Amino acid sequence: MKVHRIVFLTVLTFFLTACDVDLYRSLPEDEANQMLALLMQHHIDA
């Protein structure tokens, strides 16, 4: 049970810190539009 708690907290911490990280920067406009379209197709807010 203790191992499950440690794994859960580690994964939760990873997800919470990953929310603040910019994955893509300085993309050309056409690539940014393609990325936005892909996110919108999968119902992901950008």
Range of the domain at 34: 2-41
At 2-43, the pLDDT tens digits run 899 999 999 888 887 776 667 778 889 999 999 899 989 998
What is the number of structural domains in the chain?
Answer: 1
Model pLDDT, residue 24: 76
- Please give the angle made by the CA atoms of 15, 46 and 25, to the nearest 5 degrees: 85
In the structure encoding, which two tokens stand for residue 17, read together? 């810190």
pTM: 0.48
Q: Please give the distance of CA 10 from its chain centroid, rounded to a whole number.
A: 16
The answer to whether position 18 is within a domain reads yes
Model pLDDT, residue 4: 92
Looking at per-residue pLDDT, the higher value among 29 and 1 belongs to 29
The answer to whether position 20 is within a domain reads yes
The answer to whether position 46 is within a domain reads no
Model pLDDT, residue 17: 77
43: left (phi over 0), alpha (psi -120 to 50) or beta: left
